[in-house]
Structure 1
């Protein structure tokens, strides 16, 4: 399982599939929707940061552990 995921896009959607776990999640989308379907826990040692200017963000379960 990843301890750190940091994704940045200027123009375009970001879809991220993560193994089932708890994550400290930070997102920013200036023009687009944000959907987070993982367990969020700011105290988790696993950190996910996703940013995009023009696009949507979708974070869900889907990766292998």
Structure 2
């Protein structure tokens, strides 16, 4: 329902008549809750084992120095 309303608003604002609700994926709320629980569990696990994830972007590297 929210996806359909959002698509209609975007269609009107930007004249995007080709945009359809199925182009935007909105997971059900219970899936979002499950995903957030899994993410919290993963963060606690990483913190417990003192694991740090570093991400180095090759795109930004020349810009930063």
TM range (shorter): under 0.3
Identify, as 1 or 2, the structure richer in strand: 1
Question: Normalized against structure 1, the TM-score is what?
Answer: 0.19
Identify, as 1 or 2, the structure richer in helix: 2
Which structure exhibits the higher relative contact order, with contacts defined as CA atoms closer than 8 Å and separated by 6 or more residues? 1
**Which structure has the greater CA radius of gyration?**
2
Question: Normalized against structure 2, the TM-score is what?
Answer: 0.19
